Structure 1
C-alpha cells in the first residue's frame, strides 16, 4: 500500500482549506515547520475526499435506512447502497476503502516521521505531540468508519468476526501489502487506544473558531469516544466520556473544559449561516478553491439533482416531528416530494460537512443513560434539550420520559430527525443489530435485509482482494 505525499506551506489559520501547491518526496517532507504542517493538513485533506467525509460516506450510511427514497437508480450516486446490492467491484466500495486507507497511511507517515525524530529542531515538542495526536485521531476515525460498513457489528458476537487489516506503519511502496485481517474487537481496541492517546496529546483549544471547528482538539476525541463506546455497547464508558463535555444535569448543557461546546440557538445557523459554531465539534471545510463538484458532492446529489426524497412513511411524518419544528425548514417541496436542503449551497458546493455535532453527543449520552434505567430523568432532559431547541412548545409525555423502552424509542426517533442526512441511520441500524428495512415507491423498491444476510455489510473490495494475499 503506497501513500502519495503531498505537502505545502499552508498557514495554520487556513488549515486544510488550501490546495497543496507542491509535491515533495518522503526524503524532505519533514525539513521545515511549514512542510510538517502541510503533511498534517494532508491527512485532513485525505479524510475530506469525496468518498469519505467529503460527504459521500454520509450518503452511503443514510440511504441504507428507510428515510430516503431513490428516484434515479444511478449507480454513481449510491443507489447500490440504497438497494443493498454492492459487489466487490463496485466503485463506491473500492473508493471508500482506498480513501480511508490513504488517510490512515498519511497519518502513519506523520506519526512515524515525528516519532523517529525527523522533525526535531523544526517544531516545538508541544507542536510535535499535537500533530501526532491529530494523526492518531484521524486514523481512529478512518478505522471506525471502515469497520462499521465492512465488518459485522461488534454486538453480533462480541467483536470476534473478521475485521480489517490493521495497518499501523508508514508505507511508501507495495512491499507490505499482504496483511491478514484483525478481528472487529482488535480494530476497536486500536481505535480506542488512538483516541485515548489523542485526547492526551491534542490541545484544549485553538486560537480561532475556524480551527476549533476544522481541527481535532481534546473535546473532539472525547466526543468521538462517546460514539465508539455506544457502538460497542460499553455504556458506562459513554457516560464517562460524555460527562467531560456535559457536566450539568439540567439544561442549558455546555462543555466547561476545552472548547465551550453547546447547542446553537438555532439549527438553521449550522447549515448555511455560520459553519463555525459552538455546536460544531468537527466539520470538513469547503471553499471555492477546494470543493467537490457534480456527483462527487453530496449537495449536488440531494439538492440539485434531487436523487433522493424523504419517505412519507419514514420519520418525515412521525408525530414526534411536529409541523412547527424548525428542522422542517431544512426541507423543501418539489413536485409534491420533500427533499433535504441541509447542503443547499449551489455549485461549487461549499457547505461544510458535519462530522461531529454537540447535539449527537447529547443524544449518545441520553441513550446510554436511558438503557437499563441508569438515569431516566437526565436522559429525558438531554432529549428535550435537543428537541425543544427546534420545537420549544413540544413536550414529551410522562409515559415516555418515565419508561425506559418508550424513552429509548423517542431518543432513536430524535436521532433520525436531528441527524437526518448526516450519516447515522445505517450506522444506528447495524450497531443495534436490526434488519435493514424494506422501502420504495411505485417506481423503485428494495426488500429488507436480515442481520444474517450476506449483504448486511459491504462486500470486501476487489482491489484489496487482488493485492493482499492474506485478506480473505
Structure 2
C-alpha cells in the first residue's frame, strides 16, 4: 500500500480548485487529472490494499481452535480476540494486536468521497466516468458494510435499527480533524443501500467486461443480495441472487476436474466462479507455515461437518489442519472474493424464509454436486431442518472467507466456547448467547482521539 501521508497529500490537492491540480506538482508527484488516473488511485488505495486489517475475524469464530505450540508471540497477540476480551487489542504477557480496521475503512471512505466529488470535472468520457463512479460507490458501500458489522449493533429488525448504534457517516472531502458521533443502524444501512443503488444504476450504463480486479454490475447484484439477506428482506435478497445466477456468466468450480493438489489453492486465477477479488487474506498471525506446531488451527467442529467424500476436505486445509484456501505470497492466489456460490447460498437462505424450503435444498445440492464424490444430495424434512442445512452448507463453503463472524451475529449470536492452552494447562472461555461481545469495541486510539463517541461496552471475561 502506498504511504498514507503521500496519498492524503494527493487527495488534499484534489480538494483545491481545478486549475491547481491539472498539472504535475513536481517530477516525482503526478496529481491525477484524468479519470483513468483516478481509477488507478482507487485500485491502489482500496482494491489492491495489501494489508489484512481484519485477520482476527477467523479466530473469534468456532472455525478455529487454539494449539499449544511454539509461536507464543502470535498466540498472545490474538489471545484477546480468541477469548472475546473486553479490550481485545490487549493480548497476553504485554503482547498487543492493534485493531486497524476502523482507520483503514474510513480512509477508504474518505478516498471514495474525494473521487466521487472530483470525477465529473476530470478529463474522460461519460462512459469512463460512469464506470469509475459505479466502482467508487460500490467500494464506499462495502466499507460501511464492514464497519457496521464489526462495530455496530447486530441488525434485528427495521424497528430496532432506528435506535440501535451504528457507526459515523463521513461525508468530508477535505482533511479535517472533525469529531464524529455514531449514526443509528438504520441511517448507516440506508447510506449503504443508497450507494449500492447508485452503483447499480451507473453500472447499467456501462459495457460489461469480465475483470476480476474491478467490481461490476454482477458483483453489485451479489452484494445487494447479501445486504438484503442481512436486513431480512428475503424477496429482495432472492431477486438479486437470481440476477447473478441467471445471467450464466460464471460457473461453479468443479472440484472433480479442477486438478487441485496440495500445492494449489481453491481461490486461484483459474476458479471460474470468482467475480471480484480485492485486498488480502493472511493467516500469518494465526499460524507458522514452516512449523507443524501452530498458534490456531482449523477446529475439529468445522472439520466434522465435511464428509469423507467431500473434496473440499482436502482442498480447504492441509494435513496439519492449516487453512489452505488462499496464499498471501502466491501470485496465482487471490484475496477476498465475491463468487457465484454465495449467490446460491444467499438465495437458498432467502427461499427458506419465503416458505420455499424444498427449492432451497435444490440450490444447496447444486453446489454440492461440484464438491462431493458419489452421493452428494441431501434432503430436508421441514423448514427448520432446511434452514439448519443451508446454514451448515454456508459454513462449509465460505469457511475462512470472513463470513462466519458476521453470520453468527445474524444467526442469533449463539454461545461459543474456546479453550486456551498454556504449557499444558487449559482454560475455557465462553461467549454467551446474545453477548455484547459479538460487537467489537471502537479501537482504543480512536476513543482517545474522540472523547464523545459512544463505545459499546463489552463485559469482562471470566
Shared fold per TM-score greater than 0.5: yes
Q: Does 1:362 align with 2:344?
A: yes
SS at match of 1:282: strand
Indicate if the aligned counterparts of 2:35 and 2:119 stay in contact, CA closer than 8 A.
Answer: no
1:25-54 per-position Cα deviation (integer Å, ceiling 9, x unaligned): 9x9734234532322223424x734234xx
Partner of 1:333 in structure 2?
Answer: 319
SS at match of 2:253: coil
SS at match of 2:318: strand
SS at match of 1:356: strand
SS at match of 1:420: coil
Partner of 2:326 in structure 1?
Answer: 343
Indicate if the aligned counterparts of 2:169 and 2:188 stay in contact, CA closer than 8 A.
Answer: yes
Q: CA deviation at 1:78?
A: 3.5
Any residues of structure 2 matched to 1:218-237 within 5 Å, and which? 218-237=217-236
Indicate if the aligned counterparts of 1:223 and 1:242 stay in contact, CA closer than 8 A.
Answer: yes
2:61 pairs with one of 40, 65, 73:
65
1:176-201 per-position Cα deviation (integer Å, ceiling 9, x unaligned): x2122111111111111111111111
Q: CA deviation at 1:282?
A: 1.6
Q: How many residues align?
A: 413
Partner of 1:40 in structure 2?
Answer: 42
Q: Does 1:195 align with 2:196?
A: yes
Q: Does 1:81 align with 2:43?
A: no
Partner of 1:427 in structure 2?
Answer: 406
Q: CA RMSD in A?
A: 3.1
Higher helix share: 1
**Whose radius of gyration is greater, 1 or 2?**
2
1:429-465 per-position Cα deviation (integer Å, ceiling 9, x unaligned): 1012223410226655442223553422111122322
Q: TM-score, normalised by structure 2?
A: 0.80
Q: Distance in 2 between matches of 1:143 and 1:3?
A: 22
Q: CA deviation at 1:349?
A: 7.2
Q: Does 1:297 align with 2:298?
A: no
Q: Which moved more, 1:323-332 or 1:444-453?
A: 444-453
Indicate if the aligned counterparts of 1:7 and 1:39 stay in contact, CA closer than 8 A.
Answer: no
Partner of 1:243 in structure 2?
Answer: 242
Partner of 2:393 in structure 1?
Answer: 414
Q: Distance in 1 between matches of 2:276 and 2:299?
A: 29
Indicate if the aligned counterparts of 1:88 and 1:461 stay in contact, CA closer than 8 A.
Answer: no
SS at match of 1:158: helix
Q: Distance in 1 between matches of 2:89 and 2:267?
A: 40
Q: CA deviation at 1:147?
A: 0.8
Q: Distance in 2 between matches of 1:440 and 1:23?
A: 56
Q: CA deviation at 1:350?
A: 6.3
1:316 pairs with one of 303, 317, 320:
303
Partner of 1:18 in structure 2?
Answer: none
Partner of 2:33 in structure 1?
Answer: 31
Partner of 2:278 in structure 1?
Answer: 284
1:275-307 per-position Cα deviation (integer Å, ceiling 9, x unaligned): 253311221277xxxxxxxxx932574561633
Indicate if the aligned counterparts of 1:438 and 1:445 stay in contact, CA closer than 8 A.
Answer: no
SS at match of 1:132: helix
Q: CA deviation at 1:130?
A: 1.3
Indicate if the aligned counterparts of 1:147 and 1:164 stay in contact, CA closer than 8 A.
Answer: yes
Unaligned runs of 5+ in 1: 9-21, 248-254, 287-295
Any residues of structure 2 matched to 1:111-130 within 5 Å, and which? 111-115=116-120, 117=121, 119=122, 122-130=123-131
Any residues of structure 2 matched to 1:120-269 within 5 Å, and which? 122-155=123-156, 158-159=160-161, 160-174=163-177, 177-202=178-203, 207=209, 209=210, 212-247=211-246, 255-256=247-248, 260-266=249-255
Partner of 1:11 in structure 2?
Answer: none
Q: Distance in 1 between matches of 2:253 and 2:284?
A: 22
1:289-344 per-position Cα deviation (integer Å, ceiling 9, x unaligned): xxxxxxx93257456163321222x12113xx21021101122223xxx2221125
Indicate if the aligned counterparts of 1:238 and 1:365 stay in contact, CA closer than 8 A.
Answer: yes
Indicate if the aligned counterparts of 1:263 and 1:279 stay in contact, CA closer than 8 A.
Answer: yes
